[in-house]
Amino acid sequence: MNVYDAERMADLLAPIGYQTVEEAKDADLLILNTCHIRAKAAEKVYSDLGRLRQIKATRNTSTHPMILAVAGCVAQAEGEEILKRAPYVDMVFGPQTYHRLPEMVARTHRETGTILETDFPLESKFDHLPKPKARGRYSAFLTVQEGCDKFCTFCVVPYTRGAENSRPTADVISDARSLVAGGVREITLLGQNVNAYHGATPHGTELGLGRLITELAKINGLHRIRYTTSYPAEVDDDLIEAHATVPKLMPYLHLPVQSGSDRILQAMNRRHNIKAYRSLVDQLRHARSDMAFTSDFIVGFPGESDADFQSTLDLVDEIGFVGAYSFKYSARLGTPAAAMPDQVPDKTKSDRLKTLQGKLTASQAAFNSKTVGSKMPILLDGYGRHPGQLVGRSPYMQAVHVSAPAEQLGNIVNLRIEAAHPNSLAASYEGENCRKAIT
Ligand code: SAM
């Protein structure tokens, strides 16, 4: 979502004359868009600011002084603390106020002093953002939902992104149409709990994510739909049904389970247990037999025993995840878990993470190997590192490299998978025999 937000900030600033540059030293306005989910990400902000301070000092001796801004969830959570610790920062603004960026920039030119915008405004930022642009890409993100009301005991999101909020269906469909008109073929719908989506329709009713996807699938020229990140307890029958009936919906789902132990899930205030998670996976596989699942895991949550951790390893074996993000539990100030007894020593967390990641890597490699020899529709959406090479994505989000003519860029082409590497697949392009899946 930070990638999406950063692009929207660039879209907002374009009409007042800003364009993106590659190097920090060339920027008139430098925005550090931050993440607060784990302590490491938050601490990095201050070390990055130290580095940027030097760049700003050098720039400010020139005719174009630099405005330095901190955006995102660290800005939201730390607010004034940032201005105290790094007084050379000009603007601090949270994820719900960035639609005011042009006005904030104008204020820094008019007034002296710093700007702090970390309230949760009454107006929705989406009503003030320009239409998203395709930017020459074939795959784009589209935010449909933000915030979280779930209050997992480890998590800061409800405090930084605010309460759950869904965009009206007409706005989402209109943004999707404009991305497709610009050449986009694949859209990934975004939300902190994307499947908690319940957008208002023009008829005064509400649509859930499954039915929104069914509507989006009617857009000609849109060939692939994905969504992330889902909250398991919010997967409803309509969403499962969409996986069965909407071929444009990719057979790939990121479904964070966090732990394989019911005891730990309860302490995390997750609203699923392992039986329910297992049943969800079964229902989705029943809806579409080639469904592939990825997940998020936290190891070393307070009170996690060896037996709890073993349950997590067992679940990985059972489900056969094709990829995952896994993290050591990071105590976040103000969250209930940070004050729980039985915090797990860092060494235990590190050992468990290593064991879990070894298993997840093997599970991903096994899945990738299984695809060797098959033909898959690949959306070729970029140039590879080697001359004549294109890269794309399989339906299961695997990166695929192939030597193919540049005219194939933007097409979905049936390619034969020749080899599996740790993080990607290699495919062959068989010219005219390589029937275009969709152009
Ligand atoms: N909607 C998802 C869910 O099911 O809860 C949440 C996505 S959350 C924004 C991204 C991931 O960061 C979480 O799934 C979790 O694994 C990880 N995470 C959040 N807080 C954490 C913490 N305090 N320590 C370690 N990992 C954390």
Q: In a 10 Å sphere around its CB, with 0-12 CB exposed, 13-18 middle and 19+ buried, how is residue 345 labelled?
A: exposed
pLDDT at residue 439 greater than cutoff 60 = no
- Which protein residue has the closest C-alpha to ligand 1 atom 9? 192
Alpha-carbon gap, residue 213 to 288, rounded angstroms: 16
Q: How far is the CA of 155 from the centre of ligand 1 (A)?
A: 6
Q: How far is the CA of 96 from the centre of ligand 1 (A)?
A: 20
pLDDT, tens digit, 9 for 90 and up, residues 200-227: 999 999 999 999 999 999 999 999 999 9
Q: How far is the CA of 64 from the centre of ligand 1 (A)?
A: 40
Model confidence pTM above 0.85: yes
Backbone φ, ψ for residue 5 (5° rounding): -60, -40
Q: How far is the CA of 327 from the centre of ligand 1 (A)?
A: 9
Q: Which atom of ligand 1 is nearest to the CA of 154?
A: 23
pLDDT, tens digit, 9 for 90 and up, residues 291-313: 999 999 999 999 999 999 999 99
More confident residue, 30 or 121: 30
A 10 A CB-CB count for 435 gives 10
Q: How far is the CA of 297 from the centre of ligand 1 (A)?
A: 8
pLDDT, tens digit, 9 for 90 and up, residues 266-278: 999 999 999 999 9
Protein residues whose CB sits closer than 6 Å to any atom of ligand 1:
37-38, 152, 154-155, 157, 192-193, 229, 231, 256, 258, 296, 298, 327, 329-330, 332
Q: How far is the CA of 405 from the centre of ligand 1 (A)?
A: 41
H-type alpha helices, 343-426: 346-370
- Number of H helices and E strands in the chain, helices first, is 13, 20
Mutational test site, ligand 1, from 298, 328, 330, 352, max ligand atoms within 8 Å of CB? 298
pLDDT, tens digit, 9 for 90 and up, residues 218-265: 999 999 999 999 999 999 999 999 999 999 999 999 999 999 999 999
- Which protein residue has the closest C-alpha to ligand 1 atom 19? 155
A 10 A CB-CB count for 62 gives 8
Looking at the chain, the whole-number percentage of residues with pLDDT higher than 90 is: 83
Burial 211-234 (b: 16+ CB within 10 A, else e): bbbbbbbebeebbbbbbbbbbbbb
CB of 120 within 8 A of CB of 96?
A: yes
Q: Which atom of ligand 1 is nearest to the CA of 193?
A: 1
Q: How far is the CA of 39 from the centre of ligand 1 (A)?
A: 12
Helical (H) or strand (E) element with 420:
strand 412-420
CB of 355 within 8 A of CB of 299?
A: no
Q: Which atom of ligand 1 is nearest to the CA of 155?
A: 20
More confident residue, 52 or 434: 52
Task: Kindly state the average pLDDT of the residues 67-80.
Answer: 93
Mutational test site, ligand 1, from 5, 197, 296, max ligand atoms within 8 Å of CB? 296
pLDDT, tens digit, 9 for 90 and up, residues 373-400: 999 999 999 999 999 999 999 999 999 9
Look at residues 362, 357, 359, 367 and name the one whose alpha carbon lies nearest to residue 420. Answer: 367
Q: Is the dihedral of CA 310, 311, 317, 320 positive or negative?
A: negative
Mutational test site, ligand 1, from 144, 153, 155, max ligand atoms within 8 Å of CB? 155
pLDDT at residue 437 greater than cutoff 70 = no
Q: How far is the CA of 94 from the centre of ligand 1 (A)?
A: 19
Q: Which atom of ligand 1 is nearest to the CA of 232?
A: 4
- Which protein residue has the closest C-alpha to ligand 1 atom 13? 296
CB of 278 within 8 A of CB of 238?
A: no
Alpha-carbon gap, residue 292 to 322, rounded angstroms: 6
Assign 136 a pLDDT band (cuts: 50, 70, 90). confident
Alpha-carbon gap, residue 282 to 293, rounded angstroms: 11
Alpha-carbon gap, residue 83 to 114, rounded angstroms: 8
pLDDT at residue 438 greater than cutoff 70 = no
Query: In the numeric block, which tokens belong to residue 246?
Result: 């909407």
Alpha-carbon gap, residue 95 to 71, rounded angstroms: 7
Res 121: pLDDT: 77
Query: Which residue(s) pair with 33 in the sheet?
Result: 71
Alpha-carbon gap, residue 92 to 68, rounded angstroms: 9
Q: How far is the CA of 99 from the centre of ligand 1 (A)?
A: 26
Res 110: pLDDT: 78
Q: Which residue has the tokens 């400010």?
A: 60
CB of 145 within 8 A of CB of 197?
A: yes
- Residue 152 falls in which region: left (phi positive, over 0), alpha (psi -120 to 50) or beta: beta
Query: In the numeric block, which tokens belong to residue 332?
Result: 């976040």
Res 346: pLDDT: 97
pLDDT, tens digit, 9 for 90 and up, residues 101-133: 999 998 888 777 788 888 887 778 888 888 888
- Which protein residue has the closest C-alpha to ligand 1 atom 4? 231
Mean residue pLDDT of the chain comes to 93
pLDDT, tens digit, 9 for 90 and up, residues 329-376: 999 999 999 999 999 999 999 999 999 999 999 999 999 999 999 999
Res 189: pLDDT: 98
Q: Which atom of ligand 1 is nearest to the CA of 192?
A: 1
